[in-house]
Structure 1
Amino acid sequence: MNIKDQHQINSDIRDAEVRVIGGDGQQLGIMSSSAALRLAEESEMDLVKISPTANPPVCKIMDYGKFKFELAKKEKESRKNQKMVELKEVQLSMTIDTNDLNVKARQAQKFLDGGNKVKVAIKMRGRQNAHAVLGFEVMNKFFDILNGAVMDKKPAVEGRTITMFLSPSKQ
């Protein structure tokens, strides 16, 4: 959304009467929009409608370019502070050995420590589809190895895969 679309400035303000706030924050009272515009031009600033829903609408005399710059700066700062949570995936197998399971668990632990969510998947092949219980045991063993993890979604069979979603604990 463009900042220009949010506010009416100077001659765009067509209301008969507006409540005016001066550049120093003082209330100048209710006056016609043309008189308010004249006041703004005398002080070499812009008349900006900041509250269009009020009765009468509230306009402020300010430097609109500086105001726009400050808004853009605040928006950029808030975007910078956001952290994107990624979904990382760890593949296991039903016949995984203990040491391999520990290696995968350390890998998943790094992802969780980095603040990311982890999807753990086991792809079943051939006769393994008939023994999905073994896959659930591997998933539960994997979850027990991890510390500081919360199970968002318990292990579930989806087609030929068993999936489980983990997220870092809130500590």
Structure 2
Amino acid sequence: MITGGDNIATKDIRVNEEIRVKEVRLVDENGKQLGVVNVREAIQMARERGYDLVEVAPNTNPPVCRIMDYGKYKYQLEKKTSSKKTSTVKEIKIRPQISDHDLQLKVKHIKRFLEDGNKARVTLFFRGREIVHSETGMKIFDKIKALLIGFAHKIEQEPRLEGNTMSMIIAPGKD
């Protein structure tokens, strides 16, 4: 288990001979405190056990170092920072008189957004008196749902009318 130093970039971490202090507070590979030890002795202990001496809390006095596998520690830090990818909401705009071909093209875009891990907001705009026929918009959203059948997705927000627009949000994943 990694303790401390999780927010440090991997290039800022000092290992073995890169540690430039005389004494360090040493923690072994099992998390047991070994007290304040000379840095050369700590490096020797780490090597005897087949590990590296890694500085996990450089700003304390004396710095805290841990006996661990540095490659594994570095991998876990990189994995933690790369897993913070946020999904964005991509928007598709359509009109009530959209043709079947154009609708299929828009659905193709929605599928691509979902494959990339993003959400898709489908917004249908009504102009003037088109709003009187809001059931036309619902039919278009039903067509979109039908075209997405068999594709991994879930409807996060069902179609709803807000002013002169109707929108629906589709998220990646199972329904």
Q: TM-score, normalised by structure 2?
A: 0.59
In the other structure, the counterpart of 1:107 is 109
Number of matched residues?
143
* Other-structure match for 1:43: 41
Amino acid paired to 1:150: K
Structure 2 counterpart of 1:130: 132
Mapped to 1, the partners of 2:113 and 2:31 lie a distance apart of 54
Number of the residue aligned with 2:166: 162
Relative distance call for 1:135 and 1:61 in structure 2 (3 A) is closer
Change (3 A) 1:26 1:85: closer
| CA shift for structure 1 position 169 | 2.7
SS at match of 2:114: helix
**Partners of 2:122 and 2:112 in 1: CA distance:** 14
Q: CA deviation at 1:121?
A: 0.3
- Alignment CA distance shift 1:44-1:167 (3 Å): closer
Calculate the aligned-residue CA RMSD, in Å: 4.1
1:47-88 C-alpha deviation (Å, 9 max, x unpaired): x999xxxxxxxxx7647xx97x97565322322244432211
Matches within 5 A, 1:88-103: 88-103=90-105
Query: What are the superposed Cα offsets for residues 79-136 of structure 1, whole Å, 9 maximum, x if unpaired?
Result: 2244432211111111111111111111212222222211000011100122212111
Which amino acid counterpart does residue 159 of structure 1 have in structure 2?
G
TM-score by length of 1: 0.60
| Partner secondary structure for residue 94 of structure 1 | coil
Kept after mapping to 2: 8 A contact 1:40/1:61: no
Q: CA deviation at 1:160?
A: 1.5
> In the superposition, relative to structure 1, how do residues 130 and 72 fare at CA in structure 2: closer, same or farther (>3 Å)?
same
Q: Which has the larger radius of gyration?
A: 1
- Give identity over the alignment, percent: 20
Q: Any idea what SS the aligned residue of 1:100 has?
A: helix
